[in-house]
Amino acid sequence: MGRTSDAREKILSTAQALIELRGYSALGVAEICKAAGVPKGSFYYFFESKEALALAVIDEHWTGQRRAWAQILNGGEEPLRRLFLLFEATEAGQLAGQQSCGTVSGCLFGNLTLEMSNHTEAIRTRLQEIFDEQVEMVASVVGEALGRGEVTVPDAREAARAVVAQLEGQVLFAKLYNNTHRLGALWANCLALLGARPSREAVAAV
Amino acid sequence: MGRTSDAREKILSTAQALIELRGYSALGVAEICKAAGVPKGSFYYFFESKEALALAVIDEHWTGQRRAWAQILNGGEEPLRRLFLLFEATEAGQLAGQQSCGTVSGCLFGNLTLEMSNHTEAIRTRLQEIFDEQVEMVASVVGEALGRGEVTVPDAREAARAVVAQLEGQVLFAKLYNNTHRLGALWANCLALLGARPSREAVAAV
């Protein structure tokens, strides 16, 4: 049981790394198994298809990222400061990826949206659910900031969509230019999108 | 000459449609030729590789889009109104694509950035040039609006990057949710990103 469980983990982490490097379509099951050092029979023991593997990679990645987002966005800091920390963590994560593999890999969910959402409905649906969750998590913080009179947007959810869209757009450029400094603009842009009037304490803390 | 020239056009337009539907990696030269109704020999007469074809598709698409952007952004309207018209044209273009093939295809350049930029340097460079041009075109209009005191950003180019990033992010969501109404938020988000104080005439015209 220990060994088979290892094999599943190996396939998942290898597939994620290969998808981040080269996208999903270009990959074959045989190549993933070879890179993971796992026999092809094991693959089909754990995953009924390459699409099932992609869904598992997406779920695994979101489980980790949701935990990190929740830790930041539900934390004890002032609301706007939490959004700042989210962008800081995003930039740090992309920089760590660049340092380990040479290129900024971008957002796995954004990458798969643009590569796959139009030809795999199961993946489209799962990615929609993840971005919906991201927007809800950000909207909750924007709602808190609204309650404190620190932002001036008419609708917290619509504003959160704009913030997540800005995040995806800037991560796309960070990937294209292989430059994580692009993400440094996120904080000022977020404040502008929220019509922010941050408290003196929140600004000082940044 | 007429016939060979037709063949090149057929390959280009077929390749663009297939790339928008299924991405670049999933396509083979044989499949493109079959769909275009062109012998494989013709393909290699015009393009030395699949990558050369991708670059030609990118250039062809940007030639048309740049013309449309220039017509709007260099037009005689007030600066902020021109940005509004750009978003309106983007939404109309995505809606027309959805009506013709059933799904929102998104931005070809954004799609290829996320799929290919990390494994094809020639394509990365070309896409960088295109997004640089887009940012310059928008920055020029933002500069005009700055001169008229209608926006309050400290740096026109940085603000233009935020606007183009927002555009790419929202087009990504329009594709993911197969819903062009997502693009309706672009105008308000753009005004927020620019710290806009549009003239009464510009607002009324919208």
Check residue B16 and give its pLDDT.
93
| pLDDT for A198 | 57
B131 in contact with A, Cβ within 8 Å: yes
Would A169 be classed as within a structural domain?
Answer: yes
| Per-residue pLDDT, B21 | 81
Q: Give the distance from residue B147's alpha carbon to the nearest chain A alpha carbon, in angstroms.
A: 20
B162/B75 same-domain check = yes
Is the CB of residue B83 less than 8 Å from the CB of residue B205?
Answer: no
Q: Establish if A119 belongs to a structural domain.
A: yes
A1 and A96 in a single domain? The answer is no
Q: Determine the distance in angstroms separating the CA of B201 from the nearest CA of chain A, rounded to an integer.
A: 23
Cα(B105)–Cα(B123) distance, integer angstroms? 19
DSSP A76: S
Tokens of A64: 């980790």
Query: Distance between CA A71 and CA A73 in Å, rounded?
Result: 6
Kindly state whether B167 is in contact with chain A, defined as any CB-CB distance less than 8 angstroms. yes
Residue A108 within any structural domain of the chain: yes
Average pLDDT over residues A143-159: 96
The residue of chain B nearest to residue A119, with distances taken between CA atoms, is B22
CB contact under 8 A, B113 and A161: no
Question: Across the A/B interface, how many CB contacts are shorter than 8 Å?
Answer: 139
B200 & B120 share domain: yes
- State the number of CA atoms in the 13 A half-sphere of A193 facing the CB: 33
The shortest C-alpha distance from A19 to chain B (Å) reads 10
Does residue A128 belong to the interface with chain B, where contact is any CB pair within 8 Å?
yes
Task: Give the per-residue pLDDT at B63.
Answer: 97
Using only C-alpha atoms, chain A has a radius of gyration, in whole angstroms, of 19
Q: Judge: B165–A166 Cβ closer than 8 Å, yes or no.
A: yes
Distances (CA, A) of B11 to B14, B25, B29, B34: 5, 17, 10, 10
* pLDDT for the residue B1: 43
Q: Are residues A14 and A81 in the same domain?
A: no
pLDDT at B199: 54
Residues of A in contact with B157 (CB under 8 A): none
Confidence (pLDDT) at B115:
83
- Could you give phi then psi for residue B120, rounded to 5 degrees? -145, 95
Smallest CA-to-CA distance from A140 within A74, A200, A199, A77 is with A74
Residue A188 domain flag: yes
Q: What's the CATH number where A64 sits? A: 1.10.357.10
Does A52 map to a domain?
no
Render pLDDT for A54-99 as a digit per residue (tens, 0 to 9): 999 999 999 999 999 999 999 999 999 999 999 999 999 999 999 9
Question: Which of B47, B68, B84 is the endpoint of a domain?
Answer: B47
Quote the ipTM score. 0.91
pLDDT for the residue B140: 98
| B56 vs A116: CA distance, rounded Å | 23
Quick one: pLDDT at residue A54? Answer: 94
Among A25, A47, A69, give the residue marking a domain's end. A47
Residue B161 and residue B65 share a domain? yes
CATH of the domain at B27: 1.10.10.60
HEC string of B68-137 equals HHHHHHCCCCCHHHHHHHHHHHHHHHHHHHHHHHCCCCCCHHHHHHHHHCCCCHHHHHHHHHHHHHHHHH
- The C-alpha atoms of residue B180 and residue B178 are separated, in whole angstroms, by 7
Q: How far apart are the first and last CA of chain A?
A: 48
List of chain B residues whose C-beta atoms are within 8 Å of the C-beta of residue A169: 164-170, 172
Q: Cβ separation of A172 and B113 shorter than 8 Å?
A: yes
**Claim to verify: residue A94 and residue A184 sit in the same structural domain:** yes
Which stretch of A111-115, A145-149, A153-157, B188-192 has the lowest confidence by average pLDDT?
A: A111-115
Short-list B12, B16, B14, B10, CA closest to B108: B16
Q: Report which of B106, B127, B7 is spatially closest to residue B55, judged by C-alpha positions.
A: B127
Write out pLDDT tens, residues B31-83. 999 999 999 999 999 999 999 999 999 999 999 999 999 999 999 999 999 99
Residues of B in contact with A23 (CB under 8 A): 23, 25, 115-116
At A13-25, the pLDDT tens digits run: 999 999 888 888 8
Do residues B33 and B107 both lie within one domain? no
Phi first, then psi: give them for residue B78, nearest 5 degrees. Answer: -65, 150
Q: Is residue A82 part of a domain?
A: yes
Which residues in B lie closer than 8 A to residue A21 (C-beta atoms)? 118-119
Same domain, A165 and A135: yes
Based on the structure, what is the number of domains in chain B?
A: 2
Q: Mean pLDDT in runs of 10 for chain B (206 residues)?
A: 73 92 87 94 93 95 97 96 97 94 91 83 95 98 97 96 97 96 95 80 49
* Per-residue model confidence (pLDDT) at position B130: 97
Residue range(s) defining the domain that contains residue B109: 56-205
| Cα separation values, A59 from A66, A196, B28, Å | 10, 33, 30
Say if residue B71 is in the same domain as residue B41. Answer: no
Using CB atoms, which residue from A104, A128, A169 is nearest to B166?
A169
Residue A33 shares a structural domain with residue A111: no
Asked if residue A125 and residue A89 are part of one domain, the reply reads yes
Distance of CA B76 to the CA centre of its chain: 22
Whether B27 and B63 map to the same domain: the answer is no
Q: Which member of A128, A176, A182 has the closest CB to residue B124?
A: A176
